[in-house]
Amino acid sequence: MGRKNNTNVSEFILMGLMESEEIRLVLFSLFLLIYLITVLGNAGMILVIHLDRHLHTPMYFFLSHLSFLDLSYSTAITPKTLENLQTSSTYISFAGCFTQLYFFIFLAVTECFLLSSMAYDRYIAISNPLQYSVFMSMTLCHSLVTTSYVMAFCESFSIVISMNELHFCDSNVINHFFCDTTPVLVLSCTDTHNIEITIFILSGSTLMVSLIIISVSYVSIVSTILKIKSTSGKRKAFSTCASHLLGVSIFYGIIIFTYLKPRKSYSLGKDQVASIFYTIVIPMLNPLIYSLRNKEVNNALIRVMQKMVCTRHVK
């Protein structure tokens, strides 16, 4: 994203999280630990799913892509945040800022559509278990994931290209710890009303479509579970979608709180805390949510580790 000739700003200053040196050190240590857990958790999830043939099913196919998105999502934000916390330099170039903004939007939108696909997968698994392999073929799974990436690319590209047309005249101080839409729009010395409407329509449509798919899927899932007579059957059916439901609730709850509101209600403190949670914490939580109570993943991890140990002994 090149800098416009009629824009005086060549770089931005990220002022979020710029507290005292002691607090920055604590935040740096905390975020570094979270990032390491995020990388290990998500990369480990992808590796286990890839290596263990028992997990070559639609549900874990989607889960591997979710782990990839979380890993990429965190990597687009956290390393720069760690650099800013460790050094006194909080500058980010114009191109770097808009590149970060693009990947942030692209990965977040892709995750919305992917979570919708996972909800549909759970609906088929519980409502039509005997025909699950027919309805959820790998061809359909690849089509759903590809569609998620393509739609996210189109939406994020449209938003970033529109914002790249803005003029930034004097102030270059972003009151946030990364390049997000609202803090960047605040700096523009031109009218941003049309761009704000565009962002609201695109992001609102994404949330509405994905939430409708998820809501309809879970209404059908609950209806099916209530028809099951045995308590153990209900518990087993619910356990297959409990992790996804928890992940969806956390992700969408924070996204709606942060973005579906007017720009005038933007609050650095509250929005920054929410942003830390969904950009740094949630990518770490997802592999924990989907693996801690999942016997299939835990058993697969044990099999992979045993196979690796046996391979070393043979060598």
The radius of gyration computed from the CA coordinates of the chain, to the nearest angstrom, equals 21
> Residue 301 is encoded by which pair of tokens?
């991890």
Give the architecture (CATH level 2) of 11-314.
Answer: Up-down Bundle (1.20)
Q: Would you say residue 213 has pLDDT above 90?
A: yes
The Cα 210–Cα 253 span in angstroms is: 13
3-class DSSP assignment, residue 208? helix
Summarize pLDDT for 43-70 with one digit per residue, the tens: 999 998 998 888 889 999 999 999 999 9
Contact of 35 with 74, CB cutoff 8 Å:
yes
Whether the predicted pLDDT of 246 surpasses 60: yes
Tens of pLDDT, residue by residue over 257-269, are 776 655 555 555 5
**Mean local confidence (pLDDT), 262-278:** 66
DSSP 174: E
pLDDT band at residue 188 using 50, 70 and 90 as cut-offs: confident
Percentage of the chain modeled with pLDDT above 70: 89
Asked if 277 contacts 31 with a C-beta cutoff of 8 angstroms, the reply is no
Which H/E stretch holds residue 101? Answer: helix 94-127
What is the model's pLDDT at position 288? 85
Mapped onto helix, strand or coil, the DSSP state of residue 114 is helix
Among 297, 221, 313, smallest CA distance to 42 is for 297
Q: How far is CA 282 from CA 62, 141, 250, in A?
A: 17, 24, 8
pTM: 0.88
Confidence of residue 311 (pLDDT cuts 50, 70, 90): low
Place of tokens 């924990």: 288
